[in-house]
């Protein structure tokens, strides 16, 4: 009985691993689920084939880890390198972290955050960063407990679409 | 007289160009000047040789443009790619923008911002981002006039040093 129970637990325990090309459809589905969750489904306008190239091609723009339960992807973390000119060393930026709602509260999110931190340490990164919404107090407290400092006074400036074409066209 | 004046003006007009390995010492001096200006001089602890590798090696982490007046570097912009999973296309992040105080108010800063925007457009980037301090109202207004949106509610989380080693060590 105990062994059976252990067997059941083991088959359900998540496995965190580097994403590979065969995960592409699963990652795209998770990106769509993240957008759905954020009520931004209509903003997912990308071409999955390009994502495949950008994650797994010769000159990748980003990397991903996936969380797998029973051979099904239930979460992912997507990250890339940034750079500190003061330390003259790369940093690591976590762009997306998502776990399917039905698989939350079992530590998969923090396992993904830690696995990316491990990657940052292995690659000699001097910092590990991401962003959080200022009203998301539970998330802020969770990140602070992990050792993150939440920078109070920096704001992100963003130029997109027509404004970007205009700015870059001169 | 007119020709002479034009000659003087031309020799003083800044030239914006891609950085190359021979600019390394000049870029390091500008990074130090930026840190000095921000009263963070003691935080410049990096190894310039590594910066050279990270900017000009086979697998660069970042790229730089420089502004040159009379063969002297007077400003730089350092940037790298980030990634939008919704658009499945790279974005461009401007990490540093600096012009020596004595060369300001002559358009070098906006020329650098625009030259990086041009690079973003050329590389098919769907967004161009940087950060600004929330109390720096003149900068915020300047960026908004350029077409930038200042995101009000996102905060940067950062893990460094011992906290990063701890988080990534598990």
Of B54, B132, B164, the CB nearest to A155: B132
Q: Is A84 on the interface with B (CB under 8 A)?
A: yes
Q: Which residues of A are catalytic?
A: 143
Query: pLDDT tier at A13 (50, 70, 90 boundaries)?
Result: confident
Query: pLDDT tier at B13 (50, 70, 90 boundaries)?
Result: confident
pLDDT at B58: 94
User: What is the spatial order of strands in the sheet that B154-160 belongs to?
Assistant: A15-18, A63-69, A72-84, A89-99, A127-133, B154-160, A149-151
Query: pLDDT tier at A12 (50, 70, 90 boundaries)?
Result: low
Give the pLDDT mean for B74-94.
Answer: 98
pTM: 0.91
Buried-state track A91-105, b at ≥16 Cβ within 10 A, e below 16: bbbbbbbbbbeebee
More confident residue, A100 or B8: A100
Burial class from Cβ neighbours inside 10 Å (0-12, 13-18, 19+) for residue A78 reads buried
Query: pLDDT tier at B1 (50, 70, 90 boundaries)?
Result: very low
Of B54, B129, B170, the CB nearest to A83: B54
Query: pLDDT tier at A6 (50, 70, 90 boundaries)?
Result: very low
Q: Is B33 on the interface with A (CB under 8 A)?
A: no
Cβ of A169 within 8 Å of Cβ of B121? The answer is: yes
pLDDT at A102: 95
The answer to whether A71 and A56 are in contact (CB under 8 A) is no
Does residue B99 surpass a pLDDT of 60? Answer: yes
Euclidean distance between CA atoms A21 and A94, whole angstroms: 20
pLDDT at A10: 47
Does residue B83 surpass a pLDDT of 70? Answer: yes
Does residue B128 surpass a pLDDT of 70? Answer: yes
For residue B1, the distance in angstroms to the closest alpha carbon of chain A comes to 31
Cβ of A164 within 8 Å of Cβ of B143? The answer is: no
Please report, for residues A94, B14, B70, the alpha-carbon distance to residue B2 in angstroms, rounded to integers and kept in the order given: 56, 20, 20
Does residue A160 surpass a pLDDT of 60? Answer: yes
Which of B37, B79, B83, B143 does the annotation list as catalytic? Answer: B143
Give B163's DSSP letter: H
Query: pLDDT tier at B10 (50, 70, 90 boundaries)?
Result: very low
For residue B99, the distance in angstroms to the closest alpha carbon of chain A comes to 15
pLDDT at B22: 98
pLDDT at B96: 97
- Average confidence score pLDDT of chain A: 93
pLDDT at A84: 98
pLDDT tens track for B115-125: 999 999 999 99
ipTM of the complex: 0.91
For residue B86, the distance in angstroms to the closest alpha carbon of chain A comes to 4
pLDDT at A96: 97
Q: What percent of chain B has pLDDT over 70?
A: 92
For residue B24, the distance in angstroms to the closest alpha carbon of chain A comes to 12
Does residue B6 surpass a pLDDT of 70? Answer: no
pLDDT at B170: 55
pLDDT tens track for A91-137: 999 999 999 999 998 999 999 999 999 999 999 999 999 999 999 99
Query: pLDDT tier at B8 (50, 70, 90 boundaries)?
Result: very low
Q: Which of residues 109-138 of B touch A (CB under 8 A)?
A: 113-114, 117-122, 125-135
* C-alpha count within 13 angstroms, C-beta hemisphere, residue B115: 23
pLDDT at A153: 95
Mutate to test the interface with B, among A157, A163, A170 (most CBs of B within 10 A): A157
Does residue A56 surpass a pLDDT of 60? Answer: yes
């Amino acid at each position: 009985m105990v062994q059976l129970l252990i067997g059941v637990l083991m088959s359900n325990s998540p496995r965190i691993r580097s994403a590979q090309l065969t995960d592409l459809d699963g990652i795209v589905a998770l990106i769509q689920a993240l957008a759905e969750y954020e009520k931004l489904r209509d903003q997912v306008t990308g071409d999955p084939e390009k994502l495949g190239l950008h994650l797994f091609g010769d000159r990748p723009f980003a990397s991903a880890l996936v969380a797998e339960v029973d051979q099904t992807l239930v979460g992912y973390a997507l990250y890339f390198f940034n750079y500190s000119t003061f330390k003259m060393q790369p940093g690591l930026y976590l762009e997306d972290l998502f776990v399917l709602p039905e698989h939350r509260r079992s530590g998969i999110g923090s396992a993904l955050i830690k696995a990316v931190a491990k990657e940052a340490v292995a690659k000699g990164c001097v910092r590990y960063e991401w962003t959080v919404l200022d009203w998301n107090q539970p998330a802020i407290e969770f990140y602070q407990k992990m050792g993150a400092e939440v920078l109070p006074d920096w704001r992100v400036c963003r130029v997109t679409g027509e404004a970007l074409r205009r700015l870059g066209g001169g």
